[in-house]
Amino acid sequence: MLDKDNSKVLEDQLSWLQSYINSSEKKSQLYKRTLVIVIISQIFGGAGLAAGVTVGALLAQNMLGTDSVTGIPTALFTLGSAGAALLIGRISQRFGRRAGLTTGFLVGGIGAIGVIISSLTTSIGLLFVSLLIYGAGTATNLLARYAGTDLANSKQRATAASMALVSTTFGAVMGPMLVDVMGNLALSMSIPALAGPFILAAAAYILAGLILLAFLRPDPFIVAKAIANAQQTNGTHLSEEEANGSGTNKRGIFAGTTVMVMTQFVMIAIMTMTPIHMGHHGHNLKEVGLVIGLHVGAMFFPSLITGYLVDKVGRTIMAIASGITLLTSGILAAVGPADSMALLITALVLLGLGWNFGLISGTAIIIDATHPSTRAKIQGSVDVLIALSGALGGGLSGMVVAHSSYATLSFAGATFSLVVIPVVVWSHINQNKGQ
């Protein structure tokens, strides 16, 4: 009797999957619905990310009473993000995007709650552990860009990824604006004001997770795997490599990873030291905030246009554009007068734009180079490297400036940005040879 019940369940599962395999219209409808759900969840996810990051260093400083630990929260976010990216990628590969992304956001929300409790109990150990866990939300925010691409065709993938990035921006802009409001709310609840933004972070992350849990069904990644398996079985719409059972292009994975890792490294290194550089040359906090605010805007707001260009003019061209844009940014930051707001703004806007070009083109290259049978796991592993490269860039930037200058750092960043060009050209040439 039990075997019959299990058989019936399996037949039902195969039936609904078959309906998506056989109907391009149903696949298209699910693709559009998935984008809407991802966009909504990312708005909340962005709010959770930005609200906590804004005051993390200040909270650590307040609890420990020293400036020497203000860099620890960022380090813990990054470390937690790297570990979570690996875990979420593997959960998504086995159980689908819904399970992986929901887990990541809920864990991030639990981390935010832990930060609140640590502020009430003045427990430094709990604060650091909670910040590490909170990093799961950061990883999930970035990995969610892949969810909308699972059912996209090769001419839609970059655009789909860019939609997730744009929607994250809305939350990321809203979160810091609510810092004072959340601080006052926290005080009314007898919670330290600096923990207030983590109340928003906890609520936003948990809500983002619940939205995905409730509405990201059918799971786009499970459907995409079923379609790919059916095509492989039938031998249709496959390249020779895929027909032989391997849909993985290692050169493409290397190229896409290199683009995203190097752009992250260069962007974080120069961005991290720009406020310090400006402070040393008499710029006030308002001016620093303007430069960094415009930089962050350039990182995300152009995403829809970038996604369109990546899909239309090609991954390789836009990856090369990323390297050239970062090169220009580094040179301007290095040679421009330190008292010139116009040049600093131009350099940092180009820095954000170059990162945007690199992230979206690199994301599309990775998707093109992977097969659904391993795609989510590879994506998670790549995002681990992105997180670690950012941590390395931020850490090394301070050492370079301390032992040399901001100009040296900027020139070094400009030089490193050129690495992406020969790598993507090499990958593109080898890909064309294989066709």
Q: How far is Cα 379 from Cα 382, in angstroms, rounded to an integer?
A: 5
Residues 161-215 have pLDDT tens digits of 998 888 887 877 777 667 778 888 999 999 988 888 899 999 999 999 999 999 9
| 4's tokens | 């019959």
Determine the pLDDT at residue 169.
Answer: 78
Of 173, 200, 234, which closes a domain? 234
Q: What pTM was computed for the model?
A: 0.80
159 and 65 housed in the same domain: yes
Domain residues for the domain of 404 are: 243-433
> Which amino acid is it at 88?
I
360 within 8 A of 165, measured Cβ to Cβ: yes
73 and 163 housed in the same domain: yes
218 and 247 housed in the same domain: no
Residues 269-289 have pLDDT tens digits of 898 788 878 888 888 867 887
124 and 184 housed in the same domain: yes
Q: In total, how many domains does the chain have? A: 2
Of 205, 234, 263, which closes a domain? 234
Low-confidence ranges of the chain (pLDDT < 70): 1-14, 50-55, 57-58, 61, 66-72, 74, 176-177, 234-247, 285, 432-435
Residue 433 exposed, middle or buried by CB count within 10 Å (0-12, 13-18, 19+): exposed
Residue 63, φ and ψ in degrees, nearest 5: -75, -35
58 and 178 housed in the same domain: yes
| 212's tokens | 């995905």
| CATH code of the domain containing 77 | 1.20.1250.20
396 within 8 A of 309, measured Cβ to Cβ: no
Residues 302-343 have pLDDT tens digits of 998 999 999 999 999 999 999 999 999 999 999 988 888 999
213 within 8 A of 109, measured Cβ to Cβ: no
308 and 275 housed in the same domain: yes
